[in-house]
Every structure is written in C-alpha cells, then in structure tokens.
Amino acid sequence: MPEDPVSSPSDAAGSYHASRDTAGALVIRFLGRLAADNASSIIRELDSLLAAERPAMLIADLGELRQIDDFGVVVLVGLKKAMGTLQGRFEIQNVEAGVSEILAMHRFVSLGQEGGAGRRRSADIFSRLGARTIAALRETGYMLQFLGDTCVSSWHVIRHPRVLRLGDTLTNMQRVGVDALPIVGLISFLLGLIMAFMSAVQLQQFGANIYVASLVSLSMTRELGPIMTAIIVAGRSGSAFAAEIGSMKISEEIDALTTMGFDPHIFLVLPRLVAAVLVVPFLTLFSDLFAIAGGLLVGITMLDLTVNNYIDQTLATLDLFDVALGFFKGAVFAALIAWTGCLRGFQVEGGAVGVGRATTSAVVSSIFLIILSDSIVVVILRYWEW
C-alpha cells in the first residue's frame, strides 16, 4: 500500500521512511531504533517534513521498530501534538508488544493532550503588594521577637554569668578580633596615608602642614576608625555568623539544641555577641593607631614635619573624650553586627540559596545599621555641643 515515497533519510542506528498511502494519509514507518541518540535529529527532520506536507492524517507505523526509549516516545508525542495544531488526525499502527509496553509505561495515550508545561504564574500587582506587606510585617514581628529573646537571654546571662559558654566566646573573640587585626591595620594605615595626602594638597597652600596631624587623628578616632573597623568586621564576621547559624538551621542542628533543652540564644547568639562587643572596641583603637601611623609617614616624608612635631600636634588635638567616643561606638557597632548576623542566620529557610541570601543580607543590613546609628550619635553630640 505505501507508494509515492516522500523522504527516507538513512541512519545507521535507526531511521524512518515517509510516504503517502492511497487515501492520502502520510505514513511514517520507523525502522530499527528510536532512542536518545537519534531522537533530536529525527524530530527536526519530521518537523520540516510536516511543515512542508501539512497532511490531514498521519500514521506512524511502528511495525519495524525494534527499540524505543522515552526519547523515542517524545518523538511520537511531538508528532501527535503537531497534528493537533494542524487539526489533522494521528494514529499509530502495528505496535509490537515490547514497544507497546514502553508506550503504556509512559502513558502515551494521555501525553501531549494538555498544553505546554504550566509555568508558575506571577500574581497581579495587588496580590504581590499584599504578599510583600504581609511578609514585611511578619519579618518585623520576628525581628522584635528575636530582639526580645536576645534581651531576655542577655539578662539571664548577666544574672547567671556561668551559663555563658566561655570556650565559644573565647574562640569567637579570636576570630572576630585577633584574626581581623592584620587586615584592619593595613586598611587603616592606608586610609590614614590617603587622608594625609589629600588634605596636605589643600593645607600646604596655607602653610598649614601641621594641621594634617589634627585632621587625620581627629577624623579617624571619632568617625572613620570605628566605621571602617565595623565595616570590615561586618564583612568578615557578620557574614560568617549568618552562614554558620544558617547552615545549622537547615541541617536541623538548632532544632536538636532546642530538644536537648538548650536555649539556642544562649548557646549561639550570646557567645558571638559578647565576643564582638568585647573585642571590636580594641580593634577600633588599633585602627586609630595605624591610621595615625599612616598620616605620620606622609607627614615626615612629604610635609617636612618631624616625628615629634606630628605626635605633639596629634596629642594636642585629641582629648580622652574623642578616643572614648570611638571606643564606645566600636562596642555599639559590634553589638549591631553580631545581632544582625545571628538574626539573619536564624531566619534562613530552604537550602544553600537561603544561606547565601542571609549572608548578603547580614552584611548589607549591618552596614546600614552602622551608618544609621553613627548619624544618630553625630546628631546627639551636635545637640549637646560636644
């Protein structure tokens, strides 16, 4: 019955033979195998064949098909779908037992009848606005609850200092403080150097070289020292806190702590919080010192100042309040960084993506909180005229 061959490419592993039968239907005889290795080329050829022929009826003859897998089934589903869009009929003929079993296994009859794979539909703007608002309120609620938990457990630790995990606190002090010292020192030194450089260009015009020492020491001790240190600590330790606690959360370690009767706050948050609050102020002092050293280097090499001159001027500019202010800011920033890092860690949901998001968010929110609280301090001090 098949006559008038339309096309018949040959393939070593498997192929097909297309022809028109007497009734005008397009008959495709599949030969050999129809599987993962030849499916995509056959799909392309048949697509162009169908586009050229546009038959009203398509018959897939599987009589000489020896082997088929799910890729092969997809070829047949594709034909069925294509005939659906052409509003023609599609039939399969001469299905052998082995092939029939595979078709049944993949429920060939029901395949390709629904539309394309349903994507996640995005909701309209009002639903999204509502969802975002609810999420923001929930998060605020959680933050307040977390803040409350931190306060309660801090109070508990103040009343019973022995419950604080001393070993963890010391380890964290080392990680947050000692390990950060080289990078804080280097960055502060370079910052002092740059500030001295830039201000010298202006001050030299008035012969006011000596004020480079005042400028570097005052701005570093009161403002930039604490802020730079805090930003480095946020990047190094705030992110680490969030990632550590977040990974513990997704591997159910925090649930384990709770079931064993430990308060996760006292166990995880407080050692980090206490460690950071204890060491970051000292880190800030080191930062001030290194920045002044950077300024000093510029002063003696480029501005004809002597070491004595420079140090005298620095001491005359700074009073104890400035140093204490930087020290105090260091403690405040440390509390914010540690608290935010732990909060973001506890908020982790899902898997690796959640941990990544928490880490980013920990750094970004701590830097924001650092700058915000610093501005508040500046405004208060202005008001009190210090």
Which one of the spans 35-43, 56-64, 141-149, 281-289 is the region binding another protein (CB under 8 A)? 35-43
Instruction: Report the nearest approach of another protein to the CB of residue 58 (Å).
Output: 17
Instruction: Report the nearest approach of another protein to the CB of residue 33 (Å).
Output: 12
Q: Note whether 71 binds another protein by CB under 8 A.
A: yes
Q: Note whether 352 binds another protein by CB under 8 A.
A: yes
- CB-wise, 39 or 245, nearer to another protein? 39
Instruction: Map residue 11 onto helix, strand or coil.
Output: coil
Q: Note whether 118 binds another protein by CB under 8 A.
A: yes
Rounded Cα distance between 301 and 196, Å, is 11
Residues 227-286 that bind another protein (CB under 8 A): none
Please classify residue 162 by burial: count the beta carbons closer than 10 Å to its beta carbon, then call 0-12 exposed, 13-18 middle and 19+ buried: exposed
Tokens of 88: 């023609």
Buried/exposed code over 52-86 (b: 16+ C-beta within 10 A; e: otherwise): eeebebbbbbbeebeebeebbbbbbbbbbbbbeeb
Beta-strand ranges (E) seen in the chain are: 3-7, 14-20, 26-34, 57-68, 89-93
Instruction: Report the nearest approach of another protein to the CB of residue 131 (Å).
Output: 17
13, 23, 105, 378: residue in contact with another protein (rule CB under 8 A) = 105
Contacts with another protein by CB under 8 A: the residue count is 34
Instruction: Report the nearest approach of another protein to the CB of residue 136 (Å).
Output: 21
Residues 74-103 that bind another protein (CB under 8 A): 74-75, 77-78, 81, 101-102
Lookup result for tokens 């204890």: 278
43, 164, 210, 285: residue in contact with another protein (rule CB under 8 A) = 43
Instruction: Report the nearest approach of another protein to the CB of residue 249 (Å).
Output: 12
Q: Note whether 349 binds another protein by CB under 8 A.
A: yes
5, 141, 148, 351: residue in contact with another protein (rule CB under 8 A) = 351
Tokens of 125: 């703007």
Q: What torsion do the CA atoms of 148, 150, 154, 155 make, to the nearest 10 degrees?
A: 10
Nearest of 365, 371, 363, 334 to residue 223 by alpha carbon: 371
Residues in contact with another protein by CB under 8 A are 35-36, 39-40, 43-44, 47, 69-71, 73-75, 77-78, 81, 101-102, 105-107, 111-112, 116-120, 349-354
